[in-house]
A and B are shown apart, each in its own frame.
Chain A
Amino acid sequence: MSFRTFIFSLSASFGVAWLAIIIVPYFKMRSIEPMSMGEDASGTNVVFIPKRAGRITDGAEVYAANGCYMCHTQLIRPTYAGNDLFRPDWAGLVYDDERGDTRRETNVYDFEGEKYANIGIARVGPDLSNLAVRVENIYAENESPEQWLYRFLYNPRERPARRLSTCPSFRFLFEKKKLTGNLSDEALPIATEDGMEIVPKPGARALVSYLLSLKKDQPVPVSLDFSPATEAPTAVRPAEVVPTP
């Protein structure tokens, strides 16, 4: 085969794939149009633009730089691709107080505001799509969600329920400061020397703010809603499927 045939065939075989699965989808998906949710009670057309509250950009950088994506995913797959939706608390809550079953698959709007979707490589630990939902509703019982997360990041194995966790300790994102009067709001309830307190550094604050923005259980437009038709939520929490910590 001649050099020209070689170059042409190589370019064609690679180029077709390159165009079909890389260039065209990437640029076509650049700006996703908002979808209509239909009309609300007052007759106004409501649009689905999920807004995430929190320091998404900074926090996502800390998340990425510390390799959280190596052990955690942020993808709830449809049932043809995996069993993520069946878990009681990964995809939403199986029993939310107001809306009943709020579980849904990840849709393309869920990563808006981030430059690179932290879908993740492996699940050594749980999926984090709805981490904020779990922290607020299930884990943080006597403390604020921020406090719960700060304590977890400082020492993941602190609580007995998580003694098997292999999450690394992120105590390098915290610092010991001299106490000035009372403990600051974010001081961790961990014993240190007299006159010192442990507070999160800016990196930890950004990370926790990002983690608390991870809620992917809001209502979606009908065309994105693949949940099976159900009756109205019952008043009593179903016995068998209780969200587990």
Chain B
Amino acid sequence: MSTVTTTNSQEDIAVRSRIDRSLRHPVMFFLTSGAAWLAVSLILGIISSAKMHAPGFLDSFGWLTYGRTQAAHLNTLIYGWGFQAAFGVIVWMMSRLSRQECRAAGTILMAGHLWNLGVTAGILGILSGYGTGMPWMEFPAFAWPVLLLSYFAIVVWSFVQFKVRPEGHVYISQWYLMAAMIWFPWLYITANLLLHVFPGSPVMANGINAWYKSGLIFMFFTPVALATAFYLTPKVIGRPIMSYSLSKLGFWSLAIIMPWAGMQKLAGAPIPYFIPYLGAAATVLFFVPAFTSAINILRTGFSDLEIVSNSPTLRFTMAGVVGLIVMAVAAAFLNLPKWTLPLTQFSMSGYGFEILALYAFFSFVMFGAIYFIVPRITGREWLSRRLIKVHFFFSIYGIVTVAFVAIFGGLMQGQGQEQFLQPSTELPEYTRPYAWATTIAWCFILFSNIFFFLHLTVMWLRLGRRSTHPTLLGSAHGHSPHGEEGDIDKIGTASAH
């Protein structure tokens, strides 16, 4: 292996091991519970997508009508899978980076169950016809205080850990995690107070909702995924990030530009004229923080191609960062005010872009983190590299299809809408081929994740491989770059990460 720059003294290994043991229950809970919600979300996504081209599918029941299943699909994806994966990763990474054991594992676990309760009640609310009609905030109004309380109970400990960290270098991941933990409640409280509690302008309320959606993507999921990628890449490669100052530039450009984004979805609405176009400009400028961070991470990661092709963690993480680049290109291309925004404003490209952000970038990096973290907190290695490979490749097939639908399909759909001499009864026809593509994409993604859920369940049941060597993708078990495969009883002689 290449030269390792971190000190791997026995003391270090002992500290890491104690940290991992202290938080194995809450972190494992978040990762498995999140994966279960991902399964629910994928099934709902397939049902919704099928209804777009076959509207008679399952249409006898009110609780399965398209409007409710699509809302449930997105809300389970975001609050079920997205947030819980983020919580698992935040709790684990902040502990490791601040070199603090988790002393509130029980509280975090209880808060996680409370979060689950909130999401479940919210989803049942949506499906039974009590959705609020506000995109990404469709949970009935009782849910948000429950989720907010549970959120604070989960992340406040990470704040504390950061404050009592040992003297020295602050990792860029820590800045990203701190920022995400502050931005989300600011976004969430603002949106929920203004839309549910304090009456105001109905049109601006819609705008605030659009700002909240954009804020979740760019100011919660993006920083959490970047923090994860900035952590995992140097860890697995064994070299530090290429440029710390470039990473700070990436962070501050994200912090300054992205709070303005979101309201381009209200271009032409009766609100102050500058607001939507400022939103479009900010979204287009997302490429600045995105490319800055992506170049930094990819240069570091691809400095050793052999490791990238062997390590499941790095393969998923690098793919996720490539997803970030695609997402940034899409953000720029789909929101140009004169050329593409009028076409994409009310088309499928909105949904496609959100899935690019949530799956192509965020989820891939989360998968990379899960493949890294779970062996460390369960003390077992992944059982089968073939399961990992299927998970990887079929997710890639699915998400590439979604990217295509978002970028190309949305434009075609918008073109059709702008053909004002065509009767509007023709409008569904513009959507239909892309609806088919989306259903197929979700089927690929569900297929890939069935293998992931199987694998994760096996690890959760502590049936993973007992071995000193991590499961790698390229090599068969007998030819690991770590040398001769050892027995778990000889773990003292292995090198730890």
- Interface on A for B, CB 8 Å cutoff? 1, 3, 6-7, 9-10, 13-14, 16-18, 21-23, 25-27, 29-30, 32, 60-61, 63-71, 73, 75-78, 80-84, 86-88, 90, 105-108, 110-112, 114-127, 156-157, 161-162, 164-173, 203, 244-245
Q: Which residue of B lies closest to A108 (CB)?
A: B270
Q: Mark B61-76, 1 if CB is under 8 A from A, else 0.
A: 1100111101100000
For window 46-62 of B, CB contacts with A under 8 Å fall at 51-53, 55-56, 59-62
A110 contacts which of B270, B348, B431 (Cβ < 8 Å)? B270
Task: Evaluate whether A66 and B67 lie within 8 angstroms (CB atoms) in the complex, with A29-B271, A83-B420 already known.
Answer: yes
A125 adjacent to B427 (CB under 8 Å): yes
Asked if residues A21 and B206 are in contact (CB atoms below 8 Å), the reply is no
Give the distance to chain A from B370, nearest Cβ to Cβ, in Å.
Answer: 28
Q: List 13 A-B contacts (CB under 8 A).
A: A21-B279, A22-B208, A29-B203, A67-B66, A73-B346, A82-B268, A83-B342, A108-B201, A114-B202, A115-B199, A119-B203, A122-B348, A168-B59
Neighbouring A residues of B183 by C-beta, 8 Å? 10, 14
A78–B55 touching, CB < 8 Å: no
CB distance from B356 to the nearest CB of A (A): 16
Chain A residues near B425 (CB-CB < 8 A)? 126, 161-162, 164-165, 244-245
The interface residues of chain B, by DSSP majority, are classed as: helix
- In the bound complex, do residue A70 and residue B66 qualify as a contact, i.e. CB atoms below 8 Å apart? yes
**Count of chain A to chain B residue pairs whose CB atoms are closer than 8 Å in the complex:** 236
A164 touches B269 (CB 8 A): no
- Given contacts A64-B133, A82-B417, could you give 19 more A-B pairs where the C-beta distance is less than 8 Å? A9-B255, A10-B255, A21-B260, A26-B194, A26-B205, A60-B133, A64-B134, A65-B131, A67-B65, A67-B133, A69-B135, A71-B66, A80-B268, A83-B342, A116-B209, A124-B427, A165-B55, A166-B53, A168-B66
Complex interface: chain B residues within 8 A of A71 (CB): 66-67
Q: How far is the CA of A60 from the CA of B255 in the complex (A)?
A: 36
B400 to chain A, nearest CB (A): 22
CB pair A27–B200 under 8 Å, yes or no, is: yes
Q: Are the C-beta atoms of B67 and A168 separated by less than 8 Å?
A: yes
Report the minimum CB–CB distance from A61 to chain B (whole Å): 8
Chain A residue contacts of B56, Cβ below 8 A: 169
B195, B201, B260, B347: most-surrounded residue (chain A CB, <10 A): B201
CB-based contact B131/A64 at 8 Å: yes
- Size band of the interface chain B makes with A: 35 or more
- Complex Cα–Cα for A69 and B52 (A): 14
Choice from B59, B178, B203 contacting A111 with Cβ under 8 Å: B203
Check if B267 sits within 8 Å of A77, measured CB to CB.
yes
- CB-based contact B429/A164 at 8 Å: yes
Q: How many Å lie between the Cα of A9 and that of B175 in the bound state? A: 12
**When A and B form their complex, which 4 residue pairs have the shortest distance between CB atoms, in order from nearest?**
A67-B67, A64-B133, A77-B268, A81-B268
CB–CB A119/B67 < 8 A: no
Q: Does the CB pair A121–B67 fall under 8 Å? A: no
- Residue B182, interface by CB 8 Å: yes
Contacts of B268 in A (CB 8 A): 75-78, 80-82, 84, 105-106
CA distance A165 to B54 in the complex (A): 10
CB within 8 Å for A171 and B60 given contacts A68-B67, A108-B270? yes
A141 nearest CB across to chain B (Å): 16
Partner of B51, one of A32, A66, A114, A168: A168
The answer, yes or no, to whether B211 is at the interface (CB within 8 Å) is: yes
Contact residues in A for B179 (Cβ distance below 8 Å): 10
Asked if B303 is at the interface of the complex by the 8 Å CB criterion, the answer is no
CB distance from A224 to the nearest CB of B (A): 9
Interface contact A29-B200, CB-CB below 8 Å: yes
Q: Tell me the smallest distance from the CB of A88 to a CB of chain B, in Å.
A: 8
B residues 189-204 in Cβ contact with A at 8 Å? 190, 194-195, 199-204
B53 to chain A, nearest CB (A): 7
A70-B70, A123-B417, A124-B427 given; A115·B271 CB < 8 A: no
Residues in B whose Cβ lies below 8 Å from that of A16 = 259
Instruction: Note all chain A residues with C-beta closer than 8 A to B201.
Output: 25-26, 29-30, 32, 108
Say yes or no: A123-B346 contact (C-beta < 8 A), given A165-B428, A169-B56. Answer: yes
A141→B60 CA distance, assembly (Å): 29
Q: Does B483 contact A (CB under 8 A)?
A: no
Specify which chain B residues have a CB less than 8 angstroms from the CB of A108 in the assembled complex: 201, 203, 270-271
Tell me the minimal C-beta distance from A194 to chain B in angstroms: 22
Q: Does B263 sit within 8 A of A, measured CB to CB? A: yes
Please indicate the chain A residues that have their CB under 8 angstroms from the CB of B178 in the complex: 6
Which A residues are CB-close (under 8 A) to B428? 124-125, 164-166
Given contacts A67-B68, A122-B351, contact A86 B195 (CB under 8 A): no
For residue A157, give the distance in angstroms from its CB to the closest CB of chain B: 7
Choice from B68, B182, B269, B271 contacting A10 with Cβ under 8 Å: B182
A161 and B211 CA atoms in complex are apart in Å by: 38
Q: Which B residues lie within 8 Å of A61 (CB)?
A: 133
Interface flag for B6 (CB, 8 Å): no
For the complex, what is the distance from the CA of A14 to the CA of B130, rounded to whole Å? 33
B133: A residues at CB distance < 8 A: 60-61, 63-65, 67, 69, 116, 118
Bound Cα distance A174, B341 (Å): 39
> With a CB–CB cut-off of 8 A, which chain A residues contact B186?
14, 18
Q: Is B379 an interface residue (CB 8 A)?
A: no
B66 x A122 contact (CB < 8 A): no
Contact A29 B259 (CB under 8 A): no
B266 to chain A, nearest CB (A): 7
**Which of the residues B134, B199, B256 comes within 8 Å of A13, measured between beta carbons?**
B256
Contact A82 B260 (CB under 8 A): no
**CA A123 to CA B134, docked complex, whole Å:** 16
Contacts of B347 in A (CB 8 A): 122-123
A23 to B198 alpha-carbon distance, docked (Å): 12
**B339 CB, min distance to chain A CBs, angstroms:** 12
Are A117 and B55 in contact (CB-based, < 8 A)? no
Chain B residues within an 8 Å CB radius of A65:
67-68, 129-133
Minimum Cβ distance to chain B for residue A243 (Å): 10
In B335-383, which residues have CB < 8 Å from any A CB? 341-342, 345-348, 350-351
